[in-house]
């Protein structure tokens, strides 16, 4: 049974000509990491806010353990059982990390122990620091701890690693894996396809307010691609453009191939040096561009 289910969600903002969310339905199984991907303006933030219970849909419903989340008493129960890390959130200023944790803890009837939370999110080093003086990665860890403070069954992470350096991002991934290992369900939105591939068991790709593909990253890649990508620096590929269907992607140009060995033979025969050539499998980024026609950070 799904822990969270979106059924025919629609949302149209006042004065908007087109709906932000046109028709979204999917189910999230318990204990998995579910990724919601889409280009800017695809409607994923609105969808997530509806799922979080922060926004009401214009039509459709969200069920949490088969109960509608936007209705009276179940709305309150839902709030007690979900954890949310918003994309950008300020904290109470001039308070330390520990004081912020205690403040949020006081708002919930059931809470996780402070020591456990500190250990899970690795907050020890900066526990008594003013939240205004935290680095981006530290801040995201505090926000994650606040999202986990009520020991939720499902955690929403809305672009949690945007703006973080690669090391901080990878550290954050470890925390998310730890949360998953505890059996919690994670709903993640991200701009980083690598992140989605690393963390998500299932993904849904949205565009124009609708889900256009869903499934596990591996099954989606297998369904849409049976080829590999040969990459060459664009200055070398330029001379081959009239003979081979290279696609320019900035500094690199790509050639897709169903038979890599044959393509390599062909390139060698044309006198192409293989020293700077790279072969890679298809990625979620390729899938994303294939389905939406847009680069992710466009």
Partner 1 sequence: MNFNFKRLAAMTIARSMEFLRDRATLSWNVLFPLLTVAGFAWIFSGPQQPLFKVAVLLPQGTTLSTELHPFLAAPSVQFYVEPNGADAQAKVTRHRIDMALDFRAEPARYLINPESQKGSALETLLRGTGGTPLQREEASGQRIRYVDWAAPGILGINLMFSCLFGTGYVIVRYRKSGYLKRLNATPLTAAEFIVAQLLSRLVLTMLVTTVVFAGSNLFLHYRMEGSYWLLGLITAVGSYSMIAMGLMVSARVTSEELAGGLLNLLSWPMMVLSGVFFSIDGAPKAVVWASQVFPLTHLLNAARAVMLDGAGLASPAVATPLLILVACAVTFTLLGAIGFRWTQD
Which residue in the set 21, 91, 203, 284 belongs to the binding site for partner 1 (CB under 8 A)?
Answer: 91
List the x/- string, 6-35, binding to partner 1 by CB under 8 A: -------x----------------------
The H or E element containing residue 195 is helix 193-199
Q: How many residues bind partner 1 (CB under 8 A)?
A: 27
Q: DSSP string covering 49-115, please?
A: HHHHTSS--SEEEEEETTEETTSHHHHHHHHHHEEEE-SS----TT-BHHHHHHHHHTT-SS---HH
* Nearest to partner 1 of 40, 87 (CB atom): 87
* Nearest to partner 1 of 16, 181 (CB atom): 16
Question: CB of 94: closest distance to partner 1 in angstroms?
Answer: 4
* 79 is a contact residue toward partner 1 (CB under 8 A): yes
* Nearest to partner 1 of 49, 202 (CB atom): 49
Question: CB of 155: closest distance to partner 1 in angstroms?
Answer: 12
Which 3 state secondary structure label does DSSP give 230?
Answer: strand
* Nearest to partner 1 of 1, 73 (CB atom): 73
* Nearest to partner 1 of 29, 54 (CB atom): 54
* 93 is a contact residue toward partner 1 (CB under 8 A): yes
Query: 4 near 27, Cβ under 8 Å?
Result: yes
Please state, as a whole number, how many other Cβ atoms lie within 10 Å of the Cβ of residue 137. 16
Separation between Cα atoms, residue 70 and residue 54, nearest integer Å: 9
Phi, psi of 129 (to 5 degrees): -95, 145
Q: Which residues bind partner 1 (CB under 8 A)?
A: 13, 52-55, 76, 79-80, 82, 84, 86, 88-95, 99, 103-104, 106-109, 146
């Amino acid at each position: 049974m799904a822990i969270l289910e979106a059924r025919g969600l629609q949302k149209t903002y006042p004065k908007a000509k087109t709906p932000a969310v046109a028709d979204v339905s999917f189910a999230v199984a318990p204990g998995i990491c579910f990724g919601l991907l889409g280009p800017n303006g695809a409607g994923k933030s609105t969808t997530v806010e509806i799922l979080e219970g922060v926004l009401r849909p214009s039509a459709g419903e969200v069920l949490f353990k088969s109960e509608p989340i936007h209705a009276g008493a179940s709305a309150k129960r839902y709030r007690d059982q979900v954890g949310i890390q918003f994309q950008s959130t300020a904290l109470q200023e001039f308070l330390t990390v520990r004081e912020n944790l205690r403040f949020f803890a006081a708002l919930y009837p059931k809470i996780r122990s402070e020591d456990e939370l500190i250990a899970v999110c690795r907050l020890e080093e900066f526990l008594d620091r003013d939240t205004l003086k935290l680095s981006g990665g530290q801040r995201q860890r505090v926000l994650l701890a606040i999202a986990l403070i009520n020991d939720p069954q499902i955690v929403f992470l809305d672009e949690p690693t945007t703006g973080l350096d690669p090391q901080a991002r990878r550290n954050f991934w470890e925390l998310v894996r730890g949360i998953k290992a505890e059996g919690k369900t994670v709903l993640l939105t991200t701009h980083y396809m690598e992140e989605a591939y690393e963390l998500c068991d299932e993904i849904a790709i949205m565009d124009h307010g609708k889900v256009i593909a869903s499934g596990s990253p591996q099954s989606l890649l297998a369904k849409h691609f049976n080829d590999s990508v040969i990459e060459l620096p664009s200055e070398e590929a330029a001379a081959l453009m009239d003979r081979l269907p290279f696609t320019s992607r900035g500094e690199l140009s790509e050639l897709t191939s169903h038979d890599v060995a044959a393509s390599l033979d062909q390139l060698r025969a044309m006198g192409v040096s293989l020293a700077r050539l790279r072969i890679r499998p298809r990625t979620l980024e390729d899938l994303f561009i294939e389905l939406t026609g847009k680069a992710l950070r466009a």
